[in-house]
Structure 1
Amino acid sequence: MGLVIIFLLVALLAIFGLVRSIKDKNLLGAFFAFGSLAVFGWFAIMTIIYNGFPVAH
C-alpha cells in the first residue's frame, strides 16, 4: 500500500506541474502533466476505493 501513497504524491506533483505549465503557456508540458495526473490519480483513487486506505501498523 506504500505504492498508493507514492502515486498520490506523484499525482499531487502533476497538479503543480499542470498549473505551472498552463501559466507558462507550455502546451506540451500541460498535456503530459494532465496525462500523468489522470493515470496516477486514477490508479491511486481506485486502489483506495477497492482496497481501502492503508493503516499504520
Structure 2
Amino acid sequence: MALGVMLLVVAVLCGIATIREIKRRNFFAVGFAGISFLVFGWFSIMTIFVSGAPEV
C-alpha cells in the first residue's frame, strides 16, 4: 500500500510538471512529464487496487 501511495505522489508531481512545462512551451519536457504521469499514475492505481482488494 505504501508503494502505491508513493507512486501516486510522483504521478501528481509529474502532472504539475506537465502543466508548468506547457506554460513554458517546452514540448520535449511536456512529452517526458506526460508519459511519466501516465505510467506512474497507472502503476499507482493498479498497486492500490491490487493490494487493497480482499483475498478470497
TM-score between both structures, scaled by the size of structure 1? 0.83
Superposed CA RMSD in Å reads: 1.3
Please report how far the alpha carbon of residue 51 of structure 1 lies from its aligned counterpart in structure 2 after TM superposition: 2.2
Residue 12 (structure 1) aligns with = 12
Deviation by residue 1:3-31 (Cα, 9 ceiling, x = unmatched):
11110000000010000000110001100
Please report how far the alpha carbon of residue 2 of structure 1 lies from its aligned counterpart in structure 2 after TM superposition: 1.2
Sequence identity (%): 43
Q: Which runs of no fewer than 5 residues in structure 1 stay unpaired?
A: none
Rounded to whole Å, the distance in 1 between the matches of 2:51 and 2:5 is 13
Rounded to whole Å, the distance in 2 between the matches of 1:28 and 1:39 is 17
Residue 33 (structure 2) aligns with = 33
Tell me which protein shows more helix as a share of its residues.
2
TM-score between both structures, scaled by the size of structure 2? 0.85
Q: Which runs of no fewer than 5 residues in structure 2 stay unpaired?
A: none
TM superposition outliers: structure 1 runs of 4+ over 4 Å: none
Of the structure 1 ranges 12-21 and 41-50, higher mean CA displacement relative to structure 2 is found in 41-50
